[in-house]
Amino acid sequence: MFDSVFTAAEYLTDGMNLLFLMLGVVVGIIFGIIPGLGGATAIALLLPLTFGMQAEQAITLMGGVMGAVTIGGSITAILLNTPGTAPNAATCFDGYPLTRQGKAGMAIGAAVTASSIGGVIGAFILILLLPVAKNIILYFGPPAYFMLAVLGLTALTAASSNLLRGLVGACLGLFIGFVGYDDMGGATRYAAGVDYLWDGLSIVPVLIGLFAIAEMLKLYVMGGSIAKTGETGNLGVSGTLEGIKAAFRHFKVILSGSAIGAVIGTVPGVGGTVASFLSYSFTLQTSKDKQNFGKGDIRGVIAPEASNNAKDGGSLIPTLAFGIPGSAEMALFLGVLILHGMDPGPMLLLEREFTIFVLILALLAATLVSGVIVLLTARYLIKVTFIDSAILIPSVIVVSLVGAYALHNSIGDVFAAAFFGVLGYLMHRFDYPRITLVIALVLGGLMERNYFQTSLMYRGDWSKAFGDTPFVILLVLAVLALLMPVISSVIKRKTRQSV
Partner 1 sequence: MKLVARFSAILLLSMGLSLNAHAFPDEDVSIVIPYSPGGGFDRAVRAFAPYFEEHLGGDVTVLPRNVPGAGGRRGTTSVYRADPDGYTLGIINLPGFALPRILGEPAEYDLREMSWIGRLEAQDYVLLVASDSDIKTIEDLKQLEEITFTSTGYGSTVLAATQIVASALGLQKKNPIYLAGYSGTSDSLVALVRGDGNVGMAPISSAAKYIQSGDLRALAVTGASSPLEGVPTFAEAGYPELTALNLQRALAGPPGMSDELLETLRAAFNKTVNDPGFLESAKKARMDVAPLDGKATAEAVMEAFEFYEKFKADLSNPNAQ
Partner 2 sequence: MISRRLKPGLIVAVLVTVFAALLLITAYSYQGISGTFPQLVGWIFLGLALLEVGVQVFAARGHTQTAKHRDSETEGVSLRKELKAFGWLGILLLSLYLIGFMLSTPLYVFAFLRLSGQRSLAMSAAISVGATAFVYIVFVQLLEYKLFPGILLMG
Cα dihedral 398/399/404/409 (nearest 10)? 90
Task: Give the distance from CA 72 to its chain's centroid.
Answer: 12
Span interacting with partner 2, options 297-305, 377-385, 394-402, 470-478, rule CB under 8 A: 394-402
CB 43 within 8 A of CB 332: yes
Measured from the CB atom, is 163 or 331 closer to partner 1? 331
With CB under 8 A as the contact rule, the residue among 23, 30, 127, 141 that binds partner 1 is 141
Q: Does 248 bind partner 1 (CB under 8 A)?
A: no
Site string for partner 1, 355-394 (x = CB under 8 A): ----------------------------------------
Task: Give the distance from CA 324 to its chain's centroid.
Answer: 19
Amino acid at 387: I
Residue of 143, 240, 208, 149 lying closest to 403 (CA atoms): 208
Measured from the CB atom, is 137 or 381 closer to partner 1? 137
Task: Give the distance from CA 71 to its chain's centroid.
Answer: 10
Q: How far apart are CA 221 and CA 497, in angstroms?
A: 48
Measured from the CB atom, is 14 or 351 closer to partner 1? 351
Span interacting with partner 2, options 10-18, 176-184, 252-260, 458-466, rule CB under 8 A: 176-184
The residue count for the chain: 499
Q: How far apart are CA 210 and CA 190, in angstroms?
A: 20
With CB under 8 A as the contact rule, the residue among 5, 136, 199, 379 that binds partner 1 is 199
Q: Which helix (H) or strand (E) holds 122?
A: helix 104-129
- Please state, in angstroms and as integers, the Cα–Cα distance from residue 468 to each residue in 87, 410, 450, following that order: 29, 42, 14
Q: Does 23 bind partner 1 (CB under 8 A)?
A: no
Q: Does 448 bind partner 2 (CB under 8 A)?
A: yes
Q: Does 186 bind partner 1 (CB under 8 A)?
A: yes
213 binds, among partner 2, partner 1, none (CB under 5 to 8 A by kind): partner 2
With CB under 8 A as the contact rule, the residue among 115, 154, 287, 450 that binds partner 1 is 450
Residue of 209, 194, 164 lying closest to 423 (CA atoms): 209
SS3 459: coil
What does R_g of the chain's alpha carbons equal in angstroms?
Answer: 22
SS3 267: coil
Strand partners, 189: 180
233 binds, among partner 2, partner 1, none (CB under 5 to 8 A by kind): none
388 binds, among partner 1, partner 2, none (CB under 5 to 8 A by kind): partner 2
Residue 331 CB, nearest approach to partner 2 (Å): 19
SS3 460: coil
Residue 335 CB, nearest approach to partner 1 (Å): 4
Q: How far apart are CA 90 and CA 8, in angstroms?
A: 34
Q: Does 44 bind partner 1 (CB under 8 A)?
A: yes
Span interacting with partner 1, options 71-79, 278-286, 352-360, 444-452, rule CB under 8 A: 444-452
Query: Parallel, antiparallel, or unpaired for β 180-181 and 188-189?
Result: antiparallel
- Please state, in angstroms and as integers, the Cα–Cα distance from residue 456 to each residue in 146, 181, 187, 470, following that order: 13, 20, 18, 18
Amino acid at 424: G
Size of the site for partner 1 (CB under 8 A): 44
Residue 171 CB, nearest approach to partner 2 (Å): 4
CB 100 within 8 A of CB 106: no
Q: Does 182 bind partner 2 (CB under 8 A)?
A: yes
Contacts with partner 2 by CB under 8 A lie at: 34, 41, 45, 164-165, 167-168, 171-172, 174-175, 178, 182, 184-187, 189-190, 213, 217, 220-223, 388, 390-391, 393-395, 397-399, 401-402, 405-406, 409, 411, 414-415, 418, 421-422, 425, 429-431, 444, 448, 451-452
Contacts with partner 1 by CB under 8 A lie at: 43-44, 47-48, 137-138, 141-142, 181, 183-186, 195-196, 198-199, 268-269, 322-324, 328, 331-332, 334-335, 338-339, 341, 343, 345-347, 408-410, 449-450, 452-453, 456-457, 459
